[in-house]
């Protein structure tokens, strides 16, 4: 992934482009805004943010110190009934601090505007449309539901989020799944605080900054760094196919404290290194101390390892034992909750507890093993050293110089085959001595799907009857198991028949669906396909890949904002043999075709041949690069279109 197009780091004290602030105020809704039927640049939009204004400024009190005040104002136009959900606004805020006061949120200026007989009618929010909910012990939520909202309405609201936590300011999003006509964000930051500002997304917004005298009373003559970010015409962010996490590409401004520098006081540096992150995490009693515990499993481990000598066998035995014994409670994180001992006794635990048990048992079996911090796809991409960027922990074992990644929380994983949502950028292996190293989470191993099909063409009944063997390995096998683990055979076969153009499937068998998860999944069955070809003027026109023919390009949009994420390298091999009917010969076969992207990042090969009464087709399609930059979108789109054209060339048979 080319992060240069996704994340741009700037220092706010540098001035780039000065932008004249525009006058957008609440309460100034116009008849023209209410009369507008569709968005002028995005006619499919269900709604649009006419403007979003934000401001972050600091106040000081001798009792509380500095507080960050974050003010947001919105005006939103509803075009279609699908956009009515924008009448519901929710803001979550943190209440779980140990040494700081709770955050707070307050809504105001919430009004719905409608046009009735040429007159603007205002409906204000009343107390019945305002709710406060407790999400958990750390988070509360304020919710408003604006009244009398319908297609054509314009809504406005304002809210203030106050927080004593100034280490990370709230993200200012300026891109949504609807267009944003205009946004403006101002920050007024005392010179005592130096923030690292990150611009997320591909939009190169206008920025400016200046150093001014502060209006706050704290110390005589201190200054503020006032910054302005603004832009017009932000397109909607569409959730496209093959996207890892759309939030990674949402236009946003993020501010994280780098340094605190008060007069006559030592400078406090908040910039972390990965070693600092690793040391801090390991020192926590819910991490490092728990990894050291071992008395609770020693008897079981001794019994497990009887007559098991090699480290490879020991790893497999221990991994399967923990995987089968423990049940994940769906709680993520890298700290234990109730502790490894209690989790082991109850056979249930969070991610940390289960994988800490695995790591400890491996170590006590003489295998070098350490924890690896990971961010799941839904949690985002860990780019800068920070404890908060991770939300998961797995194990890495090393045997004979070979590194093996393990996650025992999932019942279907295998060594070096992880849950798909862990295939996200880089993990961080951390050791007790405080050292750490980067771990590539996206595998380079090619997962394979092999399809071996033999079939007989029967023009009298207009059928094709045959046998099919499908062999899936590594991540392809895991994905198959995940999707179908809870299905009965009857429901799976019904779906299989539909996927195979409503074929009739018989004599179905499957190997290694649950038995040996390290081996490929193998399906065998016979099939009957009705009306699989066209007969025109006595000639048979047949698609060479039958029901595996691609007919639709997965990439249909004109432009792409997000990287293209395939997850893992994947190879598809189709070996197909047709037995021709008596009285027919080959008139034409699909032309040999080879399509390849630069450096063979993706490739396609088709060959067709005939011999006596047999037609042999071989197709090999490979996606060797798991992630492509958005700039590669047109190239990939064209690649898949060429594949479709090639696959849809017909086998033509004629009567002798």
Q: Where are the domains of the chain?
A: 3-269, 274-440, 447-655
Q: Which of 476, 473, 528, 521 has its CA nearest to residue 500? A: 528
Residue listed under structure tokens 């071992």: 294
Under DSSP, is residue 20 helix (H, G, I), strand (E, B) or coil? coil
Joined tokens for residue 343: 């989790």
Contact, 541 vs 533, CB < 8 A?
A: yes
CATH topology agreement for domains 274-440 and 447-655:
no
Q: In this structure, what DSSP letter does residue 191 have? A: T
Using one digit for the tens of pLDDT, what is the confidence trace for 481-499?
Answer: 999 998 999 999 999 999 9
pLDDT of residue 434: 84
| pTM for the full predicted model | 0.86
Q: In this structure, what DSSP letter does residue 324 have? A: H
In terms of DSSP H, where are the helices of 213-350?
Answer: 274-283, 290-292, 298-304, 311-325, 340-346
Using one digit for the tens of pLDDT, what is the confidence trace for 294-331?
Answer: 999 999 999 999 999 999 999 999 999 999 999 999 99
Q: Of the CATH numbers 2.60.40.3140, 3.90.1420.10, 2.60.40.10, 1.10.3470.10, which one belongs to the domain with range 3-269?
A: 2.60.40.3140
pLDDT of residue 221: 67
At the topology level of CATH, where does 447-655 sit?
Jelly Rolls (2.60.120)
Query: Across-strand partners of 254?
Result: 198
Residues in the chain where the model's pLDDT stays below 50: 1-22
DSSP letters for 292-309 = H--TTTHHHHHHHTTT--
Contact, 360 vs 340, CB < 8 A?
A: yes
Using one digit for the tens of pLDDT, what is the confidence trace for 3-49?
Answer: 333 333 433 333 333 333 345 999 999 999 999 999 999 999 999 99
Contact, 372 vs 428, CB < 8 A?
A: yes
Residues in contact with 573: Cβ distance below 8 Å, sequence separation at least 6, in sequence order: 448, 449, 450, 451, 618, 619, 620
Joined tokens for residue 290: 């728990």
Phi, psi for 155 (deg, rounded to 5): -120, 150
CATH number 3.10.620.30 given to 274-440: yes
């Amino acid at each position: 992934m080319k992060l240069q197009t996704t994340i741009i780091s700037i220092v706010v004290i540098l001035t780039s482009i000065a932008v004249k602030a525009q006058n957008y105020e609440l309460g100034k809704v116009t008849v023209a805004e209410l009369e507008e039927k569709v968005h002028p640049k995005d006619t499919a939009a269900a709604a649009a943010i006419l403007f979003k204004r934000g401001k972050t400024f600091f106040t000081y009190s001798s009792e509380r110190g500095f507080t960050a005040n974050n003010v947001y104002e919105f005006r939103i136009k509803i075009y279609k009934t699908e956009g009515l959900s924008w009448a519901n606004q929710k803001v979550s805020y943190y209440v779980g601090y140990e040494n700081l006061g709770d955050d707070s949120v307050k809504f105001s200026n919430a009004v719905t505007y409608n046009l009735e007989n040429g007159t603007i009618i205002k409906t204000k929010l009343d107390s019945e449309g305002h709710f406060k909910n407790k999400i958990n012990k750390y988070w509360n939520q304020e919710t408003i539901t604006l009244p009398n909202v319908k297609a054509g309405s314009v809504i406005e609201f304002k809210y203030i989020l106050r927080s004593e936590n100034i280490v990370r300011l709230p993200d200012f999003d300026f891109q949504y799944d609807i267009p944003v006509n205009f946004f403006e964000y101002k920050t007024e930051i005392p010179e005592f605080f130096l923030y690292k500002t990150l611009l997320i997304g591909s939009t190169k917004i206008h920025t400016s900054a200046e150093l001014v005298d502060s209006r706050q009373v704290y110390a005589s003559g201190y200054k503020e760094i006032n910054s302005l970010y603004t832009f017009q015409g932000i397109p909607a962010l569409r959730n496209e196919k093959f996207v890892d996490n759309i939030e990674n590409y949402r236009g946003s401004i993020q501010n994280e404290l780098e340094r605190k520098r008060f007069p006559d006081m030592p400078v406090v540096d908040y910039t972390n290194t990965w070693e600092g992150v690793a040391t801090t995490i390991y020192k926590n009693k819910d991490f490092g101390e728990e990894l050291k515990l071992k008395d609770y499993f020693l008897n079981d481990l001794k019994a497990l390892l009887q007559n098991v000598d090699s480290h490879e066998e020991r790893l497999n035995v221990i991994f399967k034992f923990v995987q089968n014994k423990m049940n994940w409670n769906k709680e993520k994180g890298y700290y234990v909750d109730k502790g490894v001992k209690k989790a082991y006794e109850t056979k249930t635990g969070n991610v940390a507890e289960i994988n800490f048990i695995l790591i400890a048992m491996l170590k006590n079996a003489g295998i070098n093993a350490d924890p690896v911090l990971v961010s799941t796809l839904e949690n985002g991409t860990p780019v800068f050293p920070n404890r908060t960027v991770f939300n998961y922990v797995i194990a890495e074992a090393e045997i004979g110089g070979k590194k093996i990644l393990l996650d025992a929380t999932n019942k279907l994983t295998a060594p070096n085959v992880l849950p798909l949502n862990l295939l996200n950028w880089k993990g961080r292996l951390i050791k007790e001595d405080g050292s750490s190293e980067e771990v590539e989470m996206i595998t380079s191993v090619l997962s394979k799907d092999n399809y071996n099909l033999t079939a007989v063409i029967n023009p009298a009944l207009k059928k094709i009857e045959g046998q099919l063997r499908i062999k899936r390995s590594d991540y392809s096998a895991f994905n198959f198991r995940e999707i179908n683990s809870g299905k009965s055979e009857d429901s799976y076969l019904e779906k299989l028949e539909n996927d195979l153009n409503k074929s009739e499937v018989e004599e179905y068998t499957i190997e290694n669906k649950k038995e040996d998860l390290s081996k490929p999944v193998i399906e065998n069955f016979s099939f009957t396909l009705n009306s699989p070809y066209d007969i025109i003027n006595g000639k048979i026109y047949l698609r060479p890949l039958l029901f595996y023919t691609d007919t639709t390009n997965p990439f249909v949009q004109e432009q792409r904002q997000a990287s293209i994420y395939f997850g893992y390298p994947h190879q598809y091999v189709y070996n197909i043999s047709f037995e021709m009917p008596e009285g027919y010969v080959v008139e034409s076969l699909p032309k040999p075709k080879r399509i390849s992207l630069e450096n063979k990042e993706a490739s396609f090969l088709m060959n067709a041949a005939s011999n006596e009464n047999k037609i042999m087709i071989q197709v090999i399609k490979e996606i060797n690069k798991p992630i492509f930059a958005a700039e590669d979108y047109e190239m990939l789109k064209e690649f898949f279109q060429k594949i479709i054209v090639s696959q849809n060339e017909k086998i033509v048979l004629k009567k002798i």
